[in-house]
Amino acid sequence: MNENSLLEYFNYIVRQADMARTHSQKHDLKFRENCQKIRETIEKATPKKPNWIYDDEPLCPYCGEVLDGTEVHCDECDQRLDRSEW
């Protein structure tokens, strides 16, 4: 299962759980917070190509930290990096 299908499956589960859960304000807020954390985790685990400044300085696509070109993950935010073009 690739990262895109994992995120699609997660979104399906969220929709199903949202329909089945009780609707109290406290639980609603906690449910949404937890869903957001899981989405962010999936997004960070999905390799992303760095942004480039002047074609010679890679930046993390998530937090903008300058990368030295040897990282598999950003040292600052732990975003997984796609190194296929480095």
Quick count: other Cβ atoms within 10 Å of Cβ 13? 12
Same structural domain for residues 39 and 51? no
Those residues whose C-beta lies under 8 Å from the C-beta of residue 59, and which sit 6 or more positions away, are 50, 51, 52, 53, 65, 66, 67
Number of domains in the chain: 2
Q: Rounded to two decimals, what is the model's pTM? A: 0.65
Confidence at residue 47, expressed as pLDDT on a 0 to 100 scale: 93
State pLDDT tens for residues 2-27.
666 777 888 888 877 776 666 677 77
Same structural domain for residues 31 and 55? no
Same structural domain for residues 36 and 9? yes
Range(s) of the domain holding residue 29: 3-45
Same structural domain for residues 63 and 29? no
Beta bridge partners of 58: 52
